[in-house]
Amino acid sequence: DAGVTQSPTHLIKTRGQQVTLRCSPKSGHDTVSWYQQALGQGPQFIFQYYEEEERQRGNFPDRFSGHQFPNYSSELNVNALLLGDSALYLCASSFGDGETQYFGPGTRLLVL
């Protein structure tokens, strides 16, 4: 039974560039949430996808966008990267109401 997977594991970009991060949910899960975790802080909710639509959104600018595919996998896109976007990006999957969430290993993004 595969757990939540994310790719890539690490990424280095420069300011102004765009990045796409990917997440495959745990088998049987249909909901994907994305979080940003800065060093030494707790995860911050970016948005959640269910049935290929954004169901909830946190306090992140429109530069952060996402997508969910029919197989429930998801992408997080960040445009016009800023130095402050450097963080660990976590995705979490769940079923239905999205409460019991399981995290992937994360993608560590460094913006130079």
List residues near other proteins by CB under 8 A.
4, 33, 35, 40-45, 48, 56-59, 90, 99-106
CB of 85 to other proteins, least distance (A): 19
Report the residue number, 62 or 99, with the smaller CB distance to other proteins. 99
The Cα 2–Cα 93 span in angstroms is 12
Report the residue number, 24 or 33, with the smaller CB distance to other proteins. 33
Report the residue number, 7 or 41, with the smaller CB distance to other proteins. 41
CB of 36 to other proteins, least distance (A): 11
Report the residue number, 10 or 70, with the smaller CB distance to other proteins. 10
CA pseudo-torsion sign 101, 3, 51, 60:
positive
For the purposes of burial, counting CB atoms within 10 Å of the CB of 99, is it exposed (0-12), middle (13-18) or buried (19 or more)? Answer: exposed
CB of 94 to other proteins, least distance (A): 10
The Cα 39–Cα 36 span in angstroms is 10
The Cα 4–Cα 91 span in angstroms is 8
The Cα 31–Cα 17 span in angstroms is 28
CB of 99 to other proteins, least distance (A): 5
